[in-house]
Amino acid sequence: MKVSIVQFPGTNCEYDTRDAFQRLGATTEIVWHKAQILPENTDLLVIAGGFSYGDYLRCGAIARFSPIMKEVTTYANNGGTVLGICNGFQVLTEAGLLPGALKRNDNLHFISKHHHLKVINNDNIFLKKLPVNSIINIPIAHHDGNYFIDKNGLIELEKNNQILLKYTNAHGEIQNPNGSVKSIAGICNKDKNVFGLMPHPERAMELILGSDDGLAMIQGFLQ
């Protein structure tokens, strides 16, 4: 499997992401944001986390206009599988490839810690290896992770099973760290080929680091 990982100025998770997929046997390539085309035979396109363009303006708002994003949009619209992690999620919403927006955390502080998530829907390639209502423990690290969508948009998300993950405690009870609408931590598009989440599964690959729950998430793409 070929995984292409987009790198912007300020991205800081591209190598963690590369190593996570390589650990599971994938071939990877990091793609600089000024590239005009994607690598041939790309099976999965990942926009990694970090602080693209220093998070000036809104997070992801400048990265959305990088040359590579034309190819990202074409790839997604043609049915290609795209994953946005943290800042990558923000970029995908700014580009209109995912609904909603990411705002400043309610407490106005940067949050960096492990946090539990509940799997809400698994009828998609990303989470198919994780049972609905299962609880996983994945690191979060963000200042603008407060997911917002209006009432009608939320109804659409719920109707189409686009809500993938919610922030909870270890018992599956809602525990919202940033103010996200309905405690949403991750979503997908209607066609279920574009995915975005604020938590970092690539940082949850080894128990010695606190959790290996990210393995089952990433493995979904490799089946």
Residues involved in catalysis: 86, 200, 202
Render 104-173 in DSSP notation, one character per residue. --TT-S-EEEEEEEEE----STTTTTS-TT-EEEEEEEESS-EEE--HHHHHHHHHTT-EEEEEE-TTS-
* Helices and strands counted in the chain (H then E): 5, 11
CB atoms within 10 A of CB 174: 11
Amino acid at position 66, single letter: S
Backbone dihedral region for residue 200 (phi beyond 0: left; psi -120 to 50: alpha; all else: beta): beta
**Integer Rg of the chain from CA:** 16
Distance, in Å, from the CA atom of 215 to the CA atom of 7, rounded to the nearest integer, reads 22
